[in-house]
Structure 1
Amino acid sequence: MRRFFIHPKEISNPTPALSDEEARHIKNVLRLKQGDNIRLFDGSGREYDAEIITLSNISVEVSILHRIDSIDDPPVEIDFAQAFLKARKMDLLVKQLTELGISKWIPFIAKRSVPKPDTKHLFKRTERWKKIVLETLKQSNRSRFTEIGETVSFKDIFGLAPDHDLKIVFWENESKPLHRSLSSYSSPCRKILAVMGPEGGFTPDEIEAARGAGFLTASLGPRTLRAETASLVACTLLQYLFGDMGKIVLTKMPASNTYF
């Protein structure tokens, strides 16, 4: 069934209305009609089966048939902090990391970040990323928004650390692979802050500052990965270990880490 976004405030209305953009897509592209059933999601984890009751080129009103509590989101929240890369790479990462189930996207500026965007461009980029998230939610059957955080400095990331159970920086010069970095970690993990650097990597000073703020550091293996590839690998591994990507294979992380 086709999925469309509806603002949460609309749900309580007697005849909830979809946005103009969604209305045009329903009427002019999909050519749905009065009486057709559609699936709605409000970005908070809830979905709704609904029936189209009126439609025009700029308006679609529906009747909510029943609510569905979504179970698609992983049991762990991953906030992913990404140092600025080139524009197209950042756009693609927002899409792909949303597909992988991250809860929040936090762009930041590291010492070796190229380019360093100005305030005007940041606003445009943020609005673009929100649109990318919305379209990706429709495609990936997710029901909860990936929050787009404000662009911050690398040091500002440290202020977010206390709200997370696991804080980890992926660094190409780290000798310890992920499973060794996590070998002494035994606390329950419901919220993760993962940090990935720019194309040029983190400076040694940045890594020392992160360690001093309580972050673990880990390698992604012996091969040199492009920055955007490394981000996808890191997120996938975290979802496998702590989220729902590994539940078909493993019900829990083996104490000996023999699988990794």
Structure 2
Amino acid sequence: MHHFFISTEYIANGRVEIVGQLVHQFKNVLRFRVGDTVIVFDNTGMEYVVKLNSFLDNKIIGIVLDSYKNKNEPVFNIRIFQSLIRFDKFELVLQKCTELGVSAFVPIISEKSTMYRSLNSVKKKYDRWNRIIIESTEQSQRGLLPSLYDPCNFKEACSFVNDFALIGSLNCNENVKDTLELVPNSNVSVDIFIGPEYGFTVEEEIFAIKNGIRKLSLGPRILRAETAAISAMAIVLYELENKDLDY
């Protein structure tokens, strides 16, 4: 069944209003009709089975048939601190890491962020990037939208890491499983720093380690920045969800 994000303000008293771009999508792309059923979620973790009841010029009215808590969210909160890379590659990271279950993205400006021109040029992309996050959340049938933080520089990012932070590094011989054994329980949030096309500088790695961030190895092969982010998200979440923890 199709899955769509609807803001909480449009869900009340057993009734749902579908407005904006979704009206065009429902009418002209998906060709829904009165009586068709969809699932909507409101970014609170709840989702609703909705029967489409009436089609007006600028909105569609639906009736809530059932509601329940979404069960597709990971137990762990993982944030990806992605150094700015080519915007099309950055968008691939947003899309795929959202599908995998990331809880937030923090765009960071590191020494080798060659695609960074100005803060304004990055912020201009935020409407598009948030649409990508919404569409990927809908596609993967999650119940919560990942947050997209304002961009910050590398040192600022290191100052607000959560309980357990990792930085992708080629200078790490420790197995991923061994690294993640240090995560005590599922209440811990995990942050993952991913470098730009040419990686983090030695000075950045040293600064991160001094701030309590641990090195993370993704193997001996050189990965593209977007591949590293997607791989790290998948590997770390898989290992955490399959280790023996006190839930």
Q: TM-score, normalised by structure 2?
A: 0.92
Aligned counterparts, 1:118-137, within 5 A:
118-137=118-137
Cα gap change, 1:228 to 1:106, in 2 (>3 Å): same
Gaps of 5+ in 2: none
Gap change, CA 1:233 and 1:14, over 3 Å in 2: closer
Task: String of CA shifts for 1:146-175, please: whole Å, max 9, x gaps.
Answer: 1111101001112222xx221111112333
Equivalent residue for 1:258? Answer: none
Bigger CA drift: 189-198 or 114-123? 114-123
Q: CA deviation at 1:242?
A: 1.2
Provide the rounded CA distance (Å) in 2 between the counterparts of 1:3 and 1:86.
30
Q: Measured at CA, do residues 186 and 60 of structure 1 come closer, stay the same or move farther in structure 2, by a change above 3 Å?
A: closer
- The answer as to whether partners of 2:180 and 2:239 remain within 8 angstroms in 1 is no
Matching residue within 219, 235, 252 for 2:244:
252
Distance 2:105 2:90 in 1: 10
Which amino acid in structure 2 is aligned with residue 55 of structure 1? F
Counterpart in the other structure of 1:160: 160
Corresponding residue for residue 197 of structure 1: 195
Name the SS of the counterpart of 2:24 in structure 1. helix
Change (3 A) 1:3 1:57: farther
Contact 2:180 2:240 in 1 (8 A): no
Is the Cα–Cα contact under 8 Å of residues 167 and 213 in structure 2 kept in the other structure?
yes
Q: CA deviation at 1:35?
A: 2.2
Segments of structure 1 that go 5 or more residues without pairing to the other structure are: 254-260
- Tell me how far 1:218 sits from its aligned partner: 2.0
Query: Which sits farther off after the overlay, 205-214 or 24-33?
Result: 24-33
| 2:55 counterpart residue number | 55
Counterpart selection for 2:218 from 192, 217, 220: 220
1:256 corresponds in structure 2 to none
Percent identity of paired positions between Structure 1 and Structure 2: 27
**Residue 186 to residue 121, structure 1, CA distance change in 2 (3 Å):** closer
- Give, in whole Å, the separation in 2 of the partners of 1:15 and 1:71: 23
Q: How many residues align?
A: 244
Name the structure 2 match of 1:6.
6
- Write the mapping of 1:1-260 to structure 2, written as runs, cut at 5 A: 1-12=1-12, 15-161=15-161, 164-182=162-180, 185=182, 187-189=184-186, 190-243=188-241, 246=242, 252=244
